[in-house]
Amino acid sequence: MIIESRRRLGRSSLEVAPLAFGGNVFGWTADAALSFELLDAFVAAGFNLIDTADAYSRWVPGHVGGESETIIGQWLAARGAGMRERVVIASKVGVEMGPGEAGLSRAYILRAVERSLQRLQTDYIDLYQAHRDDPATPLDETLRTFDELVRSGKVRAIGASNYSAPRLAEALRISADAGFARYETLQPPYNLYDRATFEQELAALCRREQVGVIPYYALASGFLTGKYRSAADAGKSQRGARAQSMLDARGLRILAALDAVAAASTATPAQVALAWLLERGVTAPIASATSVPQLQELLGFARARLDRGMMESLDAASA
């Protein structure tokens, strides 16, 4: 299956296929060799957006952060110069990397971007994102710094992650007034189970301002794949604790609706969950895989066709 369709990231010139590979698994649940296989399969299928962050995977005992970016850089180097032009690399800055190494101040962003460029073995990052809001740093300072990186060519476009609607709106206003590069994308948590945070105010703001939406937790940490049906299922996985919290009446109702739509559309629950996001207007949901067969299943979401009745059924179950 080759994906031909492309979507712009906001108003930028960056065009991506409608699914992003979540690079949080690289160097964590996928070693370098497996990561290379996954990235090869992802690109071979016609997809191109790879999402990572400098902090991936600092939460793992013994890790210091930068593991994911390092593996992506090694893969790019191994595949040759032509591969860099085929992919859109999105990374993030702001989450703590050590004492005094966090936030969105000018000094820290300038240090962090050089480290990310070195790990990624590239001279530019396609989409550089504020990993989370930093109330301690004026938005003007952060946006001015990002603008300098865009003007220098080290960054092609900028985005925000985990911003509230008021703060995103303020950032967009500052950029417009000052002529700075603006946040072209937003990464919110958004899926069939977690709808409220994005849909309450952020969805309308992003539509109005033409901000691309790249939601993370697109499969609710695996819950929407249908592999967690009981507490016993949840106990078998590293992500099981969160899945267990979703095994309530609403969660089970969502799984039942996914099963019904999947059967009617000859798709899998995971494919239906991703297709639902696209029908809701997002640019490219982020999903991860730790095996090539698992990845190929996810990529098959592009074949899922959800009609109005299917969407209404999923919307009602997850309301």
Kindly list the catalytic residues: 56
| 198 vs 196: CA distance, rounded Å | 6
| 9 vs 52: CA distance, rounded Å | 16
Structure tokens at 5: 């369709």
Peptide bond into 105 cis (omega under 30): no
The SS3 call for residue 266 is coil
Structure tokens at 196: 């409220």
| 77 vs 259: CA distance, rounded Å | 42
> Cα-Cα-Cα-Cα dihedral of 203, 209, 210, 215, to 10°?
-30
Tokens 């007034």 belong to which residue? 177
Contact 54, 66 (CB under 8 A): yes
